[in-house]
Amino acid sequence: MAELVEVMAASHAPLIARDWPTLEPHHKERLTAAFQALGARLKRAKPDVLVIVAPDHWINFFIDNLPSVCIGVGEQHEGPPEPFLKAFPWRPVPGHAALANHIYATALANEFEPSVSHHMKLDHGFCIPLWRMEPNPLPRVIPIVVNTLEPPMPRVSRCLAWGKLIARAVASYPERLRVALLATGGLSHSIGEPTMGAIDEAFDRRCIAAFNDGREAPLLELLEAEMDGAGNGSHECRNWIVAHGAAGSRGFTLVDYIAVPEVYVGCGFAAWNLRC
């Protein structure tokens, strides 16, 4: 049977890559340390497969056909198309079609209806954390897009259910595989809105406390009530909720939280507690 061996989350602000040379040195140091800490956890976990839960930033999908949740079931995936990610080292990114299809089949059997993509492009949301965590060797990647950009988005409670479903799918996969999950995005940020550049540290701290506490009801209540007010990018906390559900809602260890005005994002890094 496959086993879920690590569940993590990391922010993915594109300016971490695009504007890296001009970021404040102390921000660069902490961001580097946070990505490396997650990378070290990933290395210790020795995953065969890494499920990455991230949004699609208008790369694969458009408003003529916008899935709520889409699983990348391809044998491989395209690397990031953004010009500032030309140096991304893995092209194509290897997939794991069999486990991806098992997650899809498990979803259908449990009354979830995801879309699938047989050829997905992985944008900065997938690739910046992956790149900065420096996995060696690179595990096979199963990308799962959760729509956090354009209404209607999946409810937060549905994202929690998605996380639990992914965990069940992994546990029921017949092959011996070590599987890790990385959720990307968040915490508070605002893009293309009048509030662009604002970071809501108070929201981020409440969020972190609720994830750390682990209890589902207060966490869902907090996010449903406050995400809209913390900037449109804050909706990426849905991906963190998927991770929370996958890890069994036992709380997490905060690796670091850094409000970085130059990248417009309250950057969070965390790893969930997988065992009681």
Specify the residue, 197 or 214, whose C-beta has the smaller distance to other proteins: 197
Taking the C-alpha atoms of residue 244 and residue 168, their distance in angstroms, rounded to an integer, is: 14
Stretch that binds other proteins, among 34-42, 104-112, 190-198, 251-259 (CB under 8 A): 190-198
Nearest distance from residue 233's CB to other proteins, in Å? 9
User: Hey, how many other C-beta atoms are within 10 angstroms of the C-beta on 106?
Assistant: 18
Rounding to the nearest 10 degrees, give the CA dihedral for residues 5, 93, 234, 189: 120
155 secondary structure, DSSP code: P
Specify the residue, 63 or 87, whose C-beta has the smaller distance to other proteins: 63
Structure token digits, residue 4: 């879920």
Taking the C-alpha atoms of residue 235 and residue 189, their distance in angstroms, rounded to an integer, is: 9
Specify the residue, 137 or 152, whose C-beta has the smaller distance to other proteins: 152
Stretch that binds other proteins, among 22-30, 135-143, 206-214, 229-237 (CB under 8 A): 229-237
Report if residue 149 touches other proteins, rule: CB under 8 A: yes
Report if residue 81 touches other proteins, rule: CB under 8 A: yes
Stretch that binds other proteins, among 42-50, 125-133, 192-200, 246-254 (CB under 8 A): 192-200
Specify the residue, 58 or 213, whose C-beta has the smaller distance to other proteins: 58
Contact residue for other proteins among 36, 195, 253, 273 (CB under 8 A): 195
Specify the residue, 155 or 168, whose C-beta has the smaller distance to other proteins: 155
Stretch that binds other proteins, among 21-29, 127-135, 207-215, 225-233 (CB under 8 A): 225-233
Report if residue 48 touches other proteins, rule: CB under 8 A: no
Q: What is the sign, positive or negative, of the torsion defined by CA atoms of 170, 165, 251, 34?
A: positive
Structure token digits, residue 43: 């290395």
Contact residue for other proteins among 21, 25, 152, 174 (CB under 8 A): 152
Specify the residue, 33 or 198, whose C-beta has the smaller distance to other proteins: 198
Which residues, in sequence order, are CB contacts of 238 under 8 Å at separation 6+? 146, 148, 153, 154, 156, 159, 223
Nearest distance from residue 115's CB to other proteins, in Å? 17
End-to-end alpha carbon distance in the chain = 21
Contact residue for other proteins among 21, 64, 111, 217 (CB under 8 A): 64
Radius of gyration of the CA atoms of the chain, in A: 17
| Count of chain residues binding other proteins (CB under 8 A) | 27
127 secondary structure, DSSP code: H
> Which residue type occupies 44?
R
Taking the C-alpha atoms of residue 230 and residue 28, their distance in angstroms, rounded to an integer, is: 24
User: Hey, how many other C-beta atoms are within 10 angstroms of the C-beta on 98?
Assistant: 16
Contact residues toward other proteins (CB under 8 A) are 57-58, 62-64, 81, 149-153, 155, 190-198, 200, 227-229, 232, 235
